[in-house]
Amino acid sequence: MRLLSIELYKIFKRPRTYISFGIVTATALIFQLAMMSGGREFFKFGMQNITEQFDVQGSIINGYLVAYLILQSLLIQIPLLVALVAGDALAGEANMGTLRLVLTKPITRVQLVMIKFIASSVYTVALIVWLAVVALFLSLLIFGAGDMINLKSETFVMLLKDDVMWRYICAFGFACLAMTTIASLSLFLSAFADNSIGPIISTMGIVVVLTILSNLELPLFDAINPYLFTKHMIGWKGFFDNPVPYAAIGKSALVLVVYTVGFLGGTTFYFNKKDINS
């Protein structure tokens, strides 16, 4: 616990840590501002058929819908923000020169990797919680609650006002797991580098390429598609379906856990053998 509290202190004392929280806040506020000014006209047109045929309780543009839209728009940004800290965990220490000083102290390398991973995960969860605060609770404060319309490509799902909050709680929980996988990937890449830029950019590169692959419905990629972690990272959306596809969500969660354990195992194995020359 002592080592973990030291690690968390180091993370949360760095000004750069708060850049992520600032970006999440700014994105949410911009989105909410846009919805306040022009959202009503936009949705009036887009959802005319729905409102004519269904009795929607409360405003269509409510906090639940706005939060959902914000979450969708942050699909790529959040992994980057997670990589900013997790990618820096080992490589940043190597770059600063503090890694060699830390490793002259009586802690094992396995311990250090585990502490870095747990601390990165705590940061990830804190970021997701903050995202929940600014995207969901602030949107609810501004736009109020109401029935949520989840627009899909060809259909839509209507969720009653009292049936939404638990879905968000589950979705944020799932997002924590997905982003922890990203944190473990960044940490893995961080073990190979002596500078945090490399792991951060590499993490983003991997996420972007695999996301493109996940979305390409080409027969060529059919075989690997079910195993790409990016395919499963968006499993949180399942909580906004009716009925909730628990089996698919469970499978996605399992894949993410396997990837996380794999990345962490790889990090430990490599870092344990690495010569510290930085």
Partner 1 sequence: MATIIETRDLSKSFKNVDAVSGLSFSILKGDVYGFLGQNGAGKSTTMRMLLGLIYPNSGQIFINGTEFNNSRRYLLQHIGAIIERPDMYGYLSGWKNLEIFAALSRQQIPAARLHAVLEQVGLKGREKDKVKTYSQGMKQRLGIAIALVHEPDLLILDEPTNGLDPQGIADMRELIVSLSREHGKTVLVSSHLLHEIEQVATRMLVIHKGKKIVEGAVKDLLHPDETLVEVVIMKDATIAGKLAGTQWQQHLQASTDTGLTFKLNSKYIPELSKWLVMNGAGIMEIRTKHSLEDYFLSLTNDEVTKHRTV
Indicate the residue among 14 and 40 with the shorter CB distance to partner 1. 14
33 near partner 1, rule: CB under 8 A: no
Show the binding pattern over residues 4-23: x = contacts partner 1 (CB under 8 A), - = does not: --x--xx--xxx--------
155 near partner 1, rule: CB under 8 A: no
Which residue of 51, 57, 72, 108 would you call a contact of partner 1, by CB under 8 A? 108
Which residue of 49, 53, 153, 277 would you call a contact of partner 1, by CB under 8 A? 277
Indicate the residue among 23 and 103 with the shorter CB distance to partner 1. 103
1 near partner 1, rule: CB under 8 A: no
Smallest distance, Å, CB 94 to partner 1?
A: 10
* SS3 readout for the chain: CHHHHHHHHHHHHCCCHHHHHHHHHHHHHHHHHHHHHHHHHHHHHHCHHHHHHCCCCCCCCCHHHHHHHHHHHCCCHHHHHHHHHHCCCCHHHHHHCHHHHHCCCCCCHHHHHHHHHHHHHHHHHHHHHHHHHHHHHHHHHHHCCCCEEEECCCCEEEECHHHCHHHHHHHHHHHHHHHHHHHHHHHHHHHHCCCCHHHHHHHHHHHHHHHHHHHCCCHHHCCCHHHCHHHHHHHHHHHHCCCCCHHHHHHHHHHHHHHHHHHHHHHHHHHHHCCCCC
Which residue of 22, 38, 46, 97 would you call a contact of partner 1, by CB under 8 A? 97
Q: Provide the binding-site residues for partner 1, judged by CB under 8 A.
A: 2-3, 6, 9-10, 13-15, 96-98, 100-108, 273, 275-277
